[in-house]
Amino acid sequence: MREGVDLQTSGRMDESFVRGHRGGVISMHRALTHFRLRPMNLVISLSLLVCFSWIWVLLLPSLCRFWRGCLTLSLQWLPIHGSLELAEHRYHSYQLDVPYLRIYSVLPGLWMWAVACGVTLLLFAATFWLPKKMVPLIYLGRGILLVHASSLFYFAIWPMSFPHAPDSYMEALVNSGIGLITVIPLLFALTYYIFDFGLWKKALLTALTMTHLTLFLPFQVVLQALVLQKTLLFMPLLYIVFGMPLNVLLIIAFYSWGMTWSFRQVQSAYS
């Protein structure tokens, strides 16, 4: 009798793992139901990884010249107080001239600091008036405001000891953007190519993601230069929120979009 009770209890516990808090059955995610890691998937993943990496390496010198032209136009048509610089990288016969903006920034004055502090406090207080259904947006906004609040605190106490220069930051922004685009084929090979979407869908998503970030990079650099030339006060916010994390979120957005595409039919040819 005791064993029957234990088996019944065990069955209920096992069943509870697949039910939600309202009693409904939690079905397996559609991606997992289509996950079949066959040898052909591994071959296609490796082939796409090598193909896109090789194309990227071949096009990168030309893309650096394209970015250089974009930054040159921005200096001519936008109120950016700076100049265009080239960081030379040589690997035997392979040479990259990575462009970046050398801008002139200043420490925040009392008026700039006070205005930024007041706006930050007002925005933080406004988050308490937002409706409960916007909780994700509320916490995201508060997190961003807390990052900027830490910058305000630092520049209020140790303004002269800020260790980062705008020139090195702008160069690092471009280099990190290039590095992130470079590893996109590897990221997708490990997380997207292993699913049964078909060769052309995998290639299309990779091409769209890399192309979008390639076009986004000069806009990101120019917009940050326009903000950063006003004062160094905004550098921590630009770096922590609108730098590499923003680019990573763009990759996640493309990946999430690709995961909504229809899977390949099991019996069809790999296409």
3 state SS of 18:
coil
How far does Cα 226 stand from its chain's mean position?
Answer: 21
- The 10 Å CB-count burial string (b at 16+, else e) for 54-90 is eebeeebeebbebbbebbeebbeeeebebeeeeeeee
Mean pLDDT by 10 residues, the chain (271 residues): 48 54 56 62 88 96 95 93 89 88 85 93 92 89 93 89 85 95 95 86 96 96 92 91 94 94 60 41
For residue 241, what are the domain limits? 38-107+162-259
> At 103, phi and psi to the nearest 5?
-115, 165
208 within domain boundaries: yes
Q: Which residues contact 217 (CB under 8 A, 6 or more apart)?
A: 67, 174, 177, 178, 181
Please report the DSSP string for 106-122 in residue order.
Answer: ----HHHHHHHHHHHHH
Three-state secondary-structure class, residue 269 = coil
Q: Does residue 266 sit within a domain? A: no
Quick one: tokens of 180?
């992130």
Q: What is the DSSP letter of 129?
A: G
Q: Is residue 2 part of a domain?
A: no
Residue 63, domain member (yes or no): yes
* DSSP notation for 71-92: HHHHHHHS---EEEEEEEEEET
141 belongs to a structural domain: no
State how many domains the chain has: 1
Report field, pTM of the whole predicted structure over 0.85? no
Which pair of structure tokens corresponds to residue 164? 């980062």
Per-residue pLDDT of 116-138, as tens digits, reads 999 999 999 999 998 888 898 99
Helix axes 166-182, 199-228, angle to 10 degrees: 180
Identify whether 85 is part of a domain. yes
270 is a domain residue: no
Which positions ≥6 away from 72 have C-beta within 8 Å? 84
Residue at 46 is within a domain: yes
Q: Residue 37 has what pLDDT?
A: 65
